[in-house]
Chain A
Amino acid sequence: MTYTEKIFSFGPSGALQGILVEPRGRRIENAPAVLTWNVGLHHHIGPHRFFVTLTRALAAIGFTSLRFDISGLGDSEVSRDDTRPDPERAVADVREAMSALTKQRQFQTFVPIGFCSSVDAAHAVGVSDPRVVGVIHLEGYGFRTKGFYLRYPLRFLNRNRWERLVRMRVLGDWAAAMEASQDRERVYVRDYPTPKKLQSDIAALVARGAALLLIYVGGDTDYAYKEQFYEMIDERGGANRVELDFYPDADHTFFLEEDRRRVIQRIGFFMRKYFVTGDRRISASAPPSSRMQASSSPRAER
């Protein structure tokens, strides 16, 4: 195995629980530690065990990660006296995780990975905490733009949409219709920044030297083309140290293994590009994992 995993308890009275995933044998000196936590109400392993596969793959190329549960979710406990709102508590827990990794493992810098609703805490911590040197958003903030609406009719060229429509509306597949309707109902209360605020937050992160990776998907989302993000934040020329990928065929939680593998590969490239340079060197000479060696993913629009 290319990794070791240990129970990692931290926070007040050790109430927060996670799994510390460390490279076995080869690690990158002075590299940031990667942090992942709950997506919605999911346990810390993530949808389809995504964070387990991801953190083990990152360990194979030399990065340490902590996948953990925020207070009151998964295997972490929450004090009855803790009356803070969930978003505030999540941000505090991510900061607590960073401090614990500094204390117990001497990490000084961090890369939080937000996925859907957990992007809120990843973004908040990234903007406000100088220990964060990189932020990854998977299916983060999306705002409909003029370009989105112009491309909207193109959806009707998608054969899968017609197949779904016919099954649900013409053939009366009520189970599928109900499932689609339940998907639409699953909306978490989230506090989106305005596009202007998002633009200034990203500018502040980049000015601080942090790198960003933003991955969006097509499907039934508010995102329709790769450059939509730049239109959202009115930054047409792109932004330095901001990497953007759009996977039009993938869905919001990367249901298919091929899509998860593609995202994991992409995160590996990003981590190596920004955090295996200069004084950050690999301390042993084992070959990198084949999972991370493959070149660019064929279906991504870059």
Chain B
Amino acid sequence: MKPLFFGEAERRLYGVYHPPASPSRHAVLLCYPGMQEYNAAHWMFRRLATSLSREGHHVLRFDYFGTGDSDGDSDSTTPESAVADVHTALRELRDLSRARELSLVGLRFGAACAALACTQFAARQLVLWDPVIDGAAYVRELETLDERRNLVLLHADRTRGRRDELLGFPFTEQVRARTAAIDLASGAPIKAKRVVILGSNERDEQRQLRNWYERSGVPTELRTVEEPEETAGRRLRERPMLSNAVLVELARELRGSLVG
């Protein structure tokens, strides 16, 4: 495990590179979810990165500008800036690994960023894990959670009518508008060679996304992973120790990229 800063001097990104257990020509970039779900996902991502590197992949997980240990204030992350950061991280991973082919795995907001980056990048494989497909629905979901959280924490009177924060982070009108504008199911075609959409339950919007990618000529598979009772039904921010089920499925999915 090798932590590092990379990118431009005034816009440095923090990442952790996991070298493969054996020489490999394949690398995987892991894209974290949004900052509201980052802390809950961090441990899962470390476990996933460790597991994939043991399987023989080069792995890089990184923080978008304005999140984690990367430069920038927490109100400075937009979907566009995060997608630009994905491209920067792909270049860094290619330099670190000298890999011939790269794949991307993204969770929630990170899946949307990975998919948007693949409109310009020909990934070997794109794995979208519970992806944010409809940005407006995602914002509504987080706002519902935020309103409930403020109620539970006795902040109802201080936050009523305010929309400048979301689940403990600043959320400007500009970031809100840009996040709500995410629409993967009717966006630009992607260049990935194969897509897997992974989720704990199959939803209409996932089927629509699969159909859109298939129509664009990209083989796409929709996969459901059953979670054990203790984590099923709990939202991401409430399940810091996700079951092995998804991690095992992700590792199995990417194993095919190690050959050929």
A interface residues, Cβ below 8 angstroms from B: 1, 5-7, 9, 17, 19, 41-43, 45, 47-49, 52-53, 74-75, 77, 158-161, 163-164, 167, 173, 175-176, 179-180, 182-183, 219-220, 249, 251, 253, 255-258
Contacts and interface: CB of A to CB of B under 8 A. Distances in A.
Contacts of B73: 53
Nearest to B75: A257
A6 B5 CA distance: 8
B40 to A, nearest CB: 9
Contact of B155 (A53, A75, A256): A256
Interface string B156-171: 1111000001001110
Interface stretch (B22-30, B112-120, B144-152): B144-152
A164 B152 contact: yes
Interface residues of B, number: 38
Nearest to A218: B154
B238 A48 contact: no
Interface of B is mostly: mixed
5 contacts: A52-B68, A75-B1, A75-B3, A176-B152, A219-B154
Given A5-B5, A255-B168, A176 B151 contact: yes
B74 A160 contact: no
Contacts of A5: 5, 12, 69, 71
B69 A164 contact: no
A163 B155 CA distance: 10
A249 B46 CA distance: 35
Contacts of A255: 149-150, 153, 155, 168
A250 to B, nearest CB: 9
Interface of B: 1, 3-5, 10, 12, 14, 16, 35, 38-39, 42-43, 46, 67-69, 71, 73-74, 148-159, 165, 168-170, 238, 240
A47 B149 contact: no
The 10 lowest CB-CB distance pairs between A and B, nearest first, are: A48-B168, A160-B154, A251-B153, A43-B42, A180-B152, A7-B3, A255-B168, A160-B156, A176-B148, A163-B156
